[in-house]
Structure 1
Amino acid sequence: MSKRLISFLDTTLRDGEQAPGNAMTPEQKLKLALMLEDAGVDTIETGFPASSHVDFLATQMISSRLKKASFATFSRTQVKDVKIALDAGGHSDRHLVMLVATGSDLHLKNKRHITREEGLAEITEAVTYAKEQGLTNIAVGIEDASRAQYDYIEAITRISIQAGANQIILADTTGYATPTSFGNLIRYVREIVGPNIKVSTHCHNDLGLGVANALEGIKAGADEIQATIGGIGERAGNTSLEQVAAFLYYKGDEYELGTTIQLDKLYKIYLTLRDLIKLEECRMQPLFGKYVFSTAAGIHQQGILNDPDTYEYVKPMDIGRERQLLVTRHSGRTIIRHLLQELGVSPSDKEINHLYEKFINHSSSCDDLITFTQKIQNELEFQTFEVGVL
């Protein structure tokens, strides 16, 4: 069965970076960009060159070092922004110039103070200029598309393509959409543009629906997901790249969808990102949280020791991580028996009960297996040994 390949545009270095506390140097951006390319990301957004010298320099550095991935720059629908983006990234076929257009009447009136007609005129001028410069990849991203009226979405879409754009990006800028409404929006635009124009999703996570909306978007016909590592970004963040990639890895056959992303390389990128921007560690974040592949409950530990599939649908090794069994007061006698048998010891029920009462039943601590085994060793006066992570 052939799968429809979904491409990824990573916006960690632009949308992810512009959130408070996430600023990076050009050198740091380059480091992440090369790791993203190695992991199979199709397009890497370098930044907003017209906004700062840092983004201009980062774009120069990244565009000159990427070997396989395309790169994207962010611009307003203004000729001056496009000129600066081209100065930074050049006229390569691998350079995607993304122009952000104002989609909703709310933004037109209260943020931009312009009319719909003026907004369309901006798009025409900027896209036409980019096309005249010989660019082959021009995207128009419709900001606040999820709160825009369909008639204006259609007008933007048609005038963008007429001027030379070959990609339309639909942004749920404030996390307003639901999967149903966003899927309908993607489907509506797909019907307008036909099969030869690329359609992308750009979703935010204000109601926790960033991943769900993006997934509904690709089911409705979108070709690309714009996302960030760890879901970082303004306010509650963006669509999580790793979560969508994992969905395609585990559910791709069911939905006839695929990706070139190498899932097992993403956690290392996330650790690097965390280190660069001093991002706090979350305990239960899907895939990347501290304890998402750890268990302390005795019933779960017994199941995992018998067959990991009992409590692991998502496999830690698929994500580039390791399983951990942690010992707390919620653990049972099974973990003690397992550790002793690993040492070649056949404990009696009396010994098991003694160790359980002393180290587990009334404990408030959380031990990894190495620490807990040392406690047992000291108690039973075993010889020194090593126990690794299961």
Structure 2
Amino acid sequence: MRRIRVFDATLRDGEQAPGNAMSPEQKLALALKLEEIGVDVVETGYPGSSPSDFKATQLIAQSLTRAGFATFNRCSREDIRLSMEAAGDDPRHQVQVCCTGSDIHLRHKRGITRAEGLREIDDSVRFARSLGAVDINLAVEDASRGEHDWIRALVGTAVEAGATAVTLADTTGFAVPQEFGELIATVRACVSDDIVLATHCHDDLGLSLANALAGLAAGADEVQATLAGIGERSGNTPLEELAALLSYKSAELGMDTGLRTELLDEAYVMLADAIALDRPRNKAVFGTNSFATQAGIHQAAMLQNPVTYEFIKPESFGRRRSLLVGRHSGRSILRHLLAQLSVPADDDLVGRLYQEYIADRPGGECDELDVLRDRLASRLGVTPATGAGA
């Protein structure tokens, strides 16, 4: 089984999106939880951008005991100096150096030539090494829109200067899986196996996870992901979806992450509390309805065996199954509740209760099973705890 490395970017790319700001202390708490979950690298932030990110980096670097920690930097000696000052020359400190991967960015963002782009990479990587950095990651921004010969030139320059890892970013969510896989394969073919190759995919076309998977199939070693997929614009590869995919499809794909998936929802709750993030209804793994149903056809089967409509087990992700009673529920759920109350479920009673509690219910209202069970118990004059008559 191939072990896939996980680089968590929640505290940097995730945080830099509007509305997601966190204090250094909140970042530290999340970093410790992510380490407990088992991620390989926690990105602390961008120390050169603010005193808050500098402090968060210091706290995280001093507190993590197993996971690596990464800092984000432009091709700037000052950025790199501040990152080294904040996180030190610990071998677990990965210095990310962000370079310009497309002619679009060279021309319209940076206003520099390709030759100048190569020179600043060489200088930045060598400067980081001179300060004691031993793990240096060339993060190629907008790599998916860059010409492959240019991407190879960037990577070759960085590796020759001492880079130990390369991240290829689909910064605008531009790529489809075939395109991104071909990009990864191009770079994998021109670097040695000891160079860690990572994906960093955005979700503008809803393909961040699919592109990351294509990258892994093409030879990437690591995926950069964020909790709940938070990040610039539509976000990044969601950590929980990656973990679910490589956990439940590990045999077919020959890959796994080794993450403690049962702790992921705890991390999500911490993140949601920190940035006031509402839990969406239909989000994979973390959604309110991810493990909930009110449809009678589904419920009738799930009462026999949850596997009928539940491929991912909720307890695997710190969640619980929820069968809700609403306008689309059926008689099976009533029979189930009556059995719990030790009340004979004759057709006439079930029909009357169905009309009263399901058929006449407004469409948007639902009850948890225990709530409806208590209401039925009161209506029928029985005690829920024992099933005895009132």
Q: TM-score range by the shorter chain?
A: over 0.9
What is residue 378 of structure 1 aligned with on the other side?
378
Q: For each residue in 1:316-344, what CA deviation from the matched residue of structure 2 results, as whole angstroms up to 9, or x when unmatched?
A: 01111100100011111100000111122
Count of residues paired in the alignment: 385
Confirm or deny that 1:102 pairs with 2:82.
no
The one-letter code of the counterpart of 2:284 is: P
Check whether the contact 1:370–1:386 (CA below 8 A) recurs between aligned residues: no
Confirm or deny that 1:217 pairs with 2:220.
no
Rounded to whole Å, the distance in 1 between the matches of 2:68 and 2:57 is: 12
Structure 1 moving runs of 4+ over 6 Å:
none
The one-letter code of the counterpart of 1:28 is: Q
The one-letter code of the counterpart of 1:231 is: G
Rounded to whole Å, the distance in 2 between the matches of 1:120 and 1:194 is: 20
What is residue 20 of structure 1 aligned with on the other side?
18
Rounded to whole Å, the distance in 2 between the matches of 1:384 and 1:105 is: 69
Of 140, 143, 151 in structure 1, the residue corresponding to residue 141 of structure 2 is 143
Rounded to whole Å, the distance in 2 between the matches of 1:343 and 1:375 is: 11
Rounded to whole Å, the distance in 2 between the matches of 1:134 and 1:112 is: 28
Rounded to whole Å, the distance in 2 between the matches of 1:24 and 1:119 is: 33
**Deviation, structure 1 residue 221:** 0.6
**Deviation, structure 1 residue 386:** 8.8
Between the two proteins, what is the percent identity of the paired residues?
A: 49
The one-letter code of the counterpart of 1:379 is: R
Q: For each residue in 1:73-128, what CA deviation from the matched residue of structure 2 results, as whole angstroms up to 9, or x when unmatched?
A: 00001111111000000000000000000010000000000000001000000001
Confirm or deny that 1:67 pairs with 2:65.
yes
What is residue 127 of structure 1 aligned with on the other side?
125
Rounded to whole Å, the distance in 2 between the matches of 1:267 and 1:342 is: 30
Local SS of the residue matching 2:342:
coil
Rounded to whole Å, the distance in 2 between the matches of 1:35 and 1:139 is: 24
Confirm or deny that 1:207 pairs with 2:219.
no
Rounded to whole Å, the distance in 1 between the matches of 2:145 and 2:384 is: 65
Local SS of the residue matching 1:304:
helix
The one-letter code of the counterpart of 1:369 is: L
Unmatched tracts of structure 1, length 5 or more? none
Two-structure CA RMSD over aligned residues (Å): 1.1
Of 219, 222, 240 in structure 1, the residue corresponding to residue 238 of structure 2 is 240
The one-letter code of the counterpart of 1:377 is: A
Rounded to whole Å, the distance in 2 between the matches of 1:373 and 1:187 is: 57
Check whether the contact 2:57–2:87 (CA below 8 A) recurs between aligned residues: yes
**Deviation, structure 1 residue 253:** 1.2
Q: TM-score, normalised by structure 1?
A: 0.97
Q: For each residue in 1:242-278, what CA deviation from the matched residue of structure 2 results, as whole angstroms up to 9, or x when unmatched?
A: 1011111011111111212111111110011001100
**Deviation, structure 1 residue 384:** 4.5
The one-letter code of the counterpart of 1:335 is: I
Check whether the contact 2:98–2:138 (CA below 8 A) recurs between aligned residues: yes
Of 84, 87, 111 in structure 1, the residue corresponding to residue 85 of structure 2 is 87
Local SS of the residue matching 2:175:
coil
Aligned pairs for 1:229-268 within 5 A:
229-268=227-266
Rounded to whole Å, the distance in 1 between the matches of 2:170 and 2:381 is: 62
Check whether the contact 2:198–2:222 (CA below 8 A) recurs between aligned residues: yes
Rounded to whole Å, the distance in 1 between the matches of 2:194 and 2:324 is: 52
What is residue 315 of structure 1 aligned with on the other side?
313
Check whether the contact 2:9–2:226 (CA below 8 A) recurs between aligned residues: yes
Rounded to whole Å, the distance in 1 between the matches of 2:384 and 2:297 is: 29
The one-letter code of the counterpart of 1:315 is: K
Q: TM-score, normalised by structure 2?
A: 0.97
The one-letter code of the counterpart of 2:148 is: Y
Confirm or deny that 1:279 pairs with 2:277.
yes
